[in-house]
Amino acid sequence: MSIEARERRQPWILLSPALTAITLLLFVPLLFIVVYSFWLRTATGADQSGFFLDNWREALSDPFYRDILLFTLKIAAITTLVCAVMGYPAAYFIARSRGNKAVLLLLLMLPFWISYIIRTMSWINILGVSGALNTLLLWAGVISEPIQMLYNQTTVILGLVHFLLPFMILNVFVSLDGIDVSLEDAATSLGATRWQAFVQVTLPLSLPGLAAGGLLCFVLAAGTYITPLVLGGPTDAMFANLVYEAIITQLNWPLGSALSLMLLAVLGLLVMIYNRYLGMAQLMKGLG
Amino acid sequence: MGWQLIRGYALLVYVFMFLPVAVVVLLSFNASQFGSFPITGVSLRWFGELAQNEAILRAFRTSIILGLLTALISTTLGVLASLALVRYRVPGENVISTLLIAPILVPEVVLAVALLLFLNFLGINKSFGLLLFGHVIFTLPFVILVVQARLMAIRRDVEEAAMSLGASPVQTFFQITLPLMLPAVLAGALFAFTISFDDITGTLFWKPGGVETVPTQIFAMLRNSISPEINALGTVMIVMTVGLPLLGAAVARILSRKSGT
């Protein structure tokens, strides 16, 4: 074999284990559940293979599923918005700080490494009936009885924001850090106020980072089912909880497949729109 | 004035991120029988109970073995793929990169369902093997992203210098490339271990009945109420997941200093 042919083959040999793993463990299974979603779970509990539209009819027309899908998208949207409002100024502070940026960033990334389930349940210690806040309010005499603050929509959003904020800050930071500070100085020297310089120069340049962070927050929030179980009430189930119910509790796997694909389609559409306008490179910058 | 405001705001964001975690650590040393306020005294009792809780110890063993195997497989696959992407000009590189990070873009619940149902169809039931496959697939993209970024920082002319001085390609790989790559490999492995150790979303779908990892064990314990043991376990987890990467970063720094890059 010629040297060039070997050179050409080598990268494929290196890539093949990873590509094989992803094909067999992700792409083929995804295709499989597309097929599976047209099967039927019969009353006996066995699957009948074939081409039935029953699961899709149920998933798409039952208002129960539609309402929970809309509720999920609403929770994800609010979470993303709160992350942006909280995260942008913090990222701006780190990027423009004259102190040690690496330490400031590392400090913010620490919670990112702390277990998701621990961070989620830690809010029970703060907001629970005998949590920090109730104890403090009782002690100060503001209230005479502990208040139930947990297990509602707000605490679900709170838990999600706490989990996802580092993703937002990191992405915005990467974007802000790449902007030349002298651009803002140039704007002010030409007569713009600091605020004008920010709104007209820095903010537009940092939008790709904000969009990347927003996409990550939204997709991760919309796919969660642990946070609503730990911090939500009985009516706060999100779409992934339905998938879990169908697959693990009811063992209706064809219906569960259809529901999973519905979630994938909605979130996949968002990723595609993002990719069309901004490209995947920005997203990888923030992840790497 | 404006800057002061931003600084104050950022400080509040930091407090928001750290306060709940700090409270977990604080309460884990609370002598009170209930895992909540008021703090009645300082005690290590809950850590002692933790060390004697069979279920928790078993969960730790499972999580550590799973994390190590995941890190081993994921890092091997990830380093090979990253080498191909960084060192060679591959046609369709963008498409390949997107395929390789696809597991991040698919919601984990969907990935979990697809893998569970497909492997079940092939006759592989919920088992440790399924759990391992699942963990490898969703840690792989992160390993590739981290290793790729580190590999790009290694200059290729060092290898060329070794070869021009008479080293064979194999010698060059083991004596030059591998030592230079070691920090990247370790960073990737550590990342994979931490993500695997922390995972709950996919794990709840894949784990066989009776097998618990640390996060699923905590989740099961939360069904009742917060016991002081959970706070103690949380503190141990915080020390592990924060301490390990910091240790890893320090080791990587020492290694890269020794190899002179």
Tokens of B240: 């592990």
Distance, in Å, from the CA atom of A21 to the CA atom of B106, rounded to the nearest integer, reads 15
Chain A residues inside the 8 Å CB shell of B80: 14-15, 17-18
Least confident of A193-197, A223-227, B124-128, B247-251: B247-251
* Average pLDDT of the segment spanning B223-240: 83
B115 closest CB neighbour out of A25, A111, A248: A25
Cβ of residue B152 closer than 8 Å to a chain A Cβ: no
Which are the contacts of A215, defined by CB distance < 8 A and separation ≥ 6?
A: A270, A271, A274, A283
User: How confident is the model at residue A11, as a pLDDT?
Assistant: 87
Cβ of residue A92 closer than 8 Å to a chain B Cβ: yes
Instruction: Find which of A8, A26, A106, A251 to mutate to test the B interface (most B CBs within 10 Å of its CB).
Output: A26
Is the predicted pLDDT of residue A129 greater than 70, yes or no?
A: yes
User: How confident is the model at residue B261, as a pLDDT?
Assistant: 46
Give the A:B interface size as CB pairs under 8 Å: 250
Chain B residues inside the 8 Å CB shell of A135: 36-38
Cis peptide before B38 (omega within 30 of 0): yes
Instruction: Find which of A24, A114, A218, A285 to mutate to test the B interface (most B CBs within 10 Å of its CB).
Output: A114
pLDDT in tens, B155-170: 778 888 888 888 888 8
User: How confident is the model at residue A30, as a pLDDT?
Assistant: 97
Residue A226: band (very low, low, confident or very high) from pLDDT cuts 50, 70, 90: very high
Which DSSP state fits B42? B
For chain B, how are helix, strand and coil distributed in percent, rounded to 5? 80, 0, 20
Contact B242, A110 (CB under 8 A): yes
Question: Minimal Cα distance from A241: which residue of B?
Answer: B109
Nearest CA to B182 out of B240, B253, B77 is that of B253
Chain B residues inside the 8 Å CB shell of A222: 107
CB spacing of B110 vs A131 below 8 angstroms = no
CB spacing of B219 vs A226 below 8 angstroms = yes
Which residue reads 């210098």 in tokens?
A: B161
CB A288: neighbour CB atoms within 10 A?
16
Instruction: Find which of A10, A19, A122 to mutate to test the B interface (most B CBs within 10 Å of its CB).
Output: A122
Which are the contacts of B236, defined by CB distance < 8 A and separation ≥ 6?
A: B47, B50
Contact A75, A160 (CB under 8 A): yes
Chain A residues inside the 8 Å CB shell of B197: 115
Helices B45-52 and B228-258 pack at an angle, to 10 degrees, of 80
Cβ of residue A51 closer than 8 Å to a chain B Cβ: no
* Average pLDDT of the segment spanning B46-65: 92
Q: Nearest CA of chain B to the CA of A207: how many Å?
A: 19
pLDDT in tens, B95-119: 898 899 899 889 999 999 999 999 9
Distance, in Å, from the CA atom of A101 to the CA atom of B147, rounded to the nearest integer, reads 23
Distance, in Å, from the CA atom of A81 to the CA atom of A84, rounded to the nearest integer, reads 5
Contact A209, A286 (CB under 8 A): yes
Which residue reads 């942008």 in tokens?
A: A88
User: How confident is the model at residue B178, as a pLDDT?
Assistant: 82
Which residues 81-120 in chain B show a CB within 8 A of chain A? 81, 83-85, 87-88, 90, 94, 96-111, 113-119
B107 closest CB neighbour out of A33, A219, A288: A219
CB spacing of B109 vs A223 below 8 angstroms = yes
Q: Nearest CA of chain A to the CA of B258: how many Å?
A: 22
Reported ipTM: the value is 0.91
Cβ of residue B122 closer than 8 Å to a chain A Cβ: no
CB spacing of A92 vs B6 below 8 angstroms = yes
Nearest CA to B79 out of A6, A19, A14, A249 is that of A14
Most confident of A197-211, A245-259, B223-237: A245-259
Tokens of A212: 């990347």
Element (H, E) at A48: strand A47-48
Q: Nearest CA of chain B to the CA of A86: how many Å?
A: 7
Cβ of residue B72 closer than 8 Å to a chain A Cβ: no
Chain B residues inside the 8 Å CB shell of A26: 102-103, 106, 111, 114-115, 137
Tokens of A88: 């942008």
Burial class (CB in 10 A: 0-12, 13-18, 19+), A61: exposed
Cβ of residue A126 closer than 8 Å to a chain B Cβ: yes
Least confident of A137-141, B99-103, B173-177: B173-177
Chain B residues inside the 8 Å CB shell of A126: 19-20, 23
Which residue reads 């104050």 in tokens?
A: B8
Residue B260: band (very low, low, confident or very high) from pLDDT cuts 50, 70, 90: low
Contact B116, B126 (CB under 8 A): yes
User: How confident is the model at residue B89, as a pLDDT?
Assistant: 83
Tokens of B151: 């590999």
Tell me what percent of the residues of chain B surpass a pLDDT of 90. 44
- The torsion of the CA quartet A157, A160, A161, A166, rounded to 10 degrees, works out to -170
Distance, in Å, from the CA atom of B177 to the CA atom of A197, rounded to the nearest integer, reads 47
Residue A214: band (very low, low, confident or very high) from pLDDT cuts 50, 70, 90: very high
Where along chain A do its domains lie? Answer: 55-287
User: How confident is the model at residue A50, as a pLDDT?
Assistant: 86
Distance, in Å, from the CA atom of B62 to the CA atom of A16, rounded to the nearest integer, reads 29
User: How confident is the model at residue A287, as a pLDDT?
Assistant: 59
CB spacing of B114 vs A18 below 8 angstroms = no
- The torsion of the CA quartet A103, A107, A108, A109, rounded to 10 degrees, works out to 100
Cβ of residue B259 closer than 8 Å to a chain A Cβ: no
Task: Give me the CATH code for the A55-287 domain, please.
Answer: 1.10.3720.10
CB A45: neighbour CB atoms within 10 A?
8
Higher pLDDT, A104 or A154: A154
Q: Three-state SS for A251? A: coil
Which are the contacts of A119, defined by CB distance < 8 A and separation ≥ 6?
A: A111, A159, A162, A163, B20, B21
